[in-house]
Chains A and B, each alone.
Chain A
């Protein structure tokens, strides 16, 4: 595979990944949102595998496999369990409606290009062009966390942000060393399991998973 072809494929897949992050804003059902996240994880795993073949890196192939296992299968399963256990609560209840949220996504993407284009330009790797797209995914994931009131959607925003960071590191350096990447997956998995417990506890205590109710601690 030539560097030019890889560059094109990487750009396309990174763009799809960013599109899926934005799709999370449009989807209103929690189940649909979990599917969007799982799909994004598979796209990223495919992208890692592609780069692994290009750079002959067995470690990166291992990372791709772990990514499918943890973020493509295990975490969506945990989230689906949480969604079905807490009953319906399907509407995702954002603070901002879809249209203004999409405008903000556009603005965040422009900001991402403004910040990351100089970094991408200084990077000799064929994957570097897509770095701003990955950073846009990070910023939009952050925005989803702020904009959604449901605890489950906040968790999804966090996971999208994590995926964006994974992609950023992958594009800038062909991924951080294997041991670090495995540690990160472990942390994310444990974090999601803990968040799941908290979703149940919030549900038990407040009879809803609307995090806007968490506003008691004040001066």
Chain B
């Protein structure tokens, strides 16, 4: 019942926001939608935490611990981004651009809705439909500013993601065939496939997983299928960039994790491990190469997402209890820190009206709060203690050194390159003289307040790693069969 509410709330918010006429009403509906989705998401997570597996519509939707983890990330960061979005959209689109503000708020919730469907459905075909839906819901958001560059970014995003996801459908159909051939009449339900996994034809499943990694890897931003990502994530409005980088990429990974659990049982863990370590390392390499010479801070953050998704893939590939545990923890940590930084990048863009690093000078003096938070967030992102990403990266590479020493060692070297590149870039932004005539002070300071929660969580997870959270992740590991 709560599950139905969780899915219908963002859907209703999207529809009502599209119909409302007055700005105040749209903003109210938007905020209520964001908070309401978070409240219902929290209720579901508690239910799952108590050992329940909520199911509705004849098992079409089914929330296990892995789904609950994703619901927590989507609804929490959705709420944070929705609060900031009110202020940001007021600053970007005045009363004469009300239709575009309405489009933004409506598509925002449609986007959250498609992501929630993707992670709550048990049917792998419906999951595919929903993940393609995330592309369709966001493509106009990428082009919201209607500039030539955002048009280019949105068109590339639409075409490349649609083709990528089409390949994932081949993988889904092949897994469905493998399941139907062996286990008789089973639907494309993940739970049924998982139960029958060790009797599936390993050749078919292997080929299917290659398509799945290429297809959903395109959505997750894995190199070499990542080329749309820096364009789309840098052209989208800041709250959407935060959700695309912090949340949507994880939905792509989520799909890969689901299939990996089936593939591991059908073929043994080596096959998926080799593939994931390969694309993970390549993503790290590509991201490092672009991060050392980034000229645009939003593109810098986007490439850093490619890097972190690569790290998570390495964790999944290294496998074992600690590899997967580290990967799941890093999903959470990357989501928290990247959404934070993208929201702050919106503040910098509103202040300097440029996304070029060379145009941003003296950020710490011109906008002290934004600058200081941006610095702290970057420290978290590049893996400095006491923030949480340090712990998860440590766990992943510690696991890797035991099972795949060479891959882990190369990964660590690439991390150091990224570390230096990003520090050098933000160093140029933070210090120096602000451009003449730039008014001092932070824009939207009050709208940044929710980010305090992100910081608190990054510190708590980095310093203490509370035991209820560890127990929750262990439940997820059990779902994945580790």
Contacts and interface: CB of A to CB of B under 8 A. Distances in A.
Contacts of B136: 187, 190-191, 194
Interface in B158-175: 158-159, 162-163, 166, 169-170, 172-174
A214 B158 CA distance: 14
Nearest to B129: A183
A93 interface: no
A177 B126 CA distance: 10
B173 A173 contact: yes
Interface stretch (A8-16, A18-26, A160-168): A160-168
Contacts of B151: 198, 201-202, 205, 214
Contacts of B173: 165, 168-169, 172-173, 176
A123 B177 contact: yes
Contact of B133 (A124, A187, A198, A216): A187
A138 B170 contact: yes
Contact of A198 (B154, B180, B204, B207): B154
B21 interface: no
A118 interface: yes
B162 A191 contact: yes
Nearest to A179: B126
B148 A165 contact: no
A180 B203 contact: no
A135 B290 CA distance: 35
Q: Name B's interface SS.
A: helix
A214 B155 contact: yes
Given A119-B207, A123-B181, A205-B148, A184 B159 contact: no
Interface in B1-34: none
A214 B123 CA distance: 37
B72 to A, nearest CB: 26
B295 interface: yes
Interface in A119-174: 119, 122-124, 135, 138, 142, 145, 151, 154, 158, 161-162, 165, 168-169, 172-173
Interface string B94-131: 00000000000000000000000000000101101100
B260 interface: no
Interface residues of B, number: 50
Nearest to A214: B152
Given A183-B125, A194-B140, A158 B159 contact: yes
Contact of A176 (B135, B188, B201, B204): B188
B453 to A, nearest CB: 33
B149 interface: yes
A158 B123 contact: no
A96 interface: no
A118 B146 CA distance: 48
A141 to B, nearest CB: 9
A138 B173 CA distance: 14
A122 B201 contact: yes
B180 A219 contact: no
A6 B295 CA distance: 60
A177 B123 CA distance: 10
Interface string B295-311: 10001000000000000
B76 to A, nearest CB: 27
B173 to A, nearest CB: 4
Interface in A189-219: 190-191, 194-195, 198, 201-202, 205-206, 211, 214-217, 219
Contacts of A115: 207
Contacts of B174: 119, 172
A74 interface: no
Given A183-B125, A184-B169, A205-B151, 8 more contacts: A119-B203, A119-B207, A122-B204, A145-B163, A168-B173, A177-B123, A194-B140, A215-B152
5 contacts: A123-B181, A165-B170, A177-B188, A184-B125, A219-B293
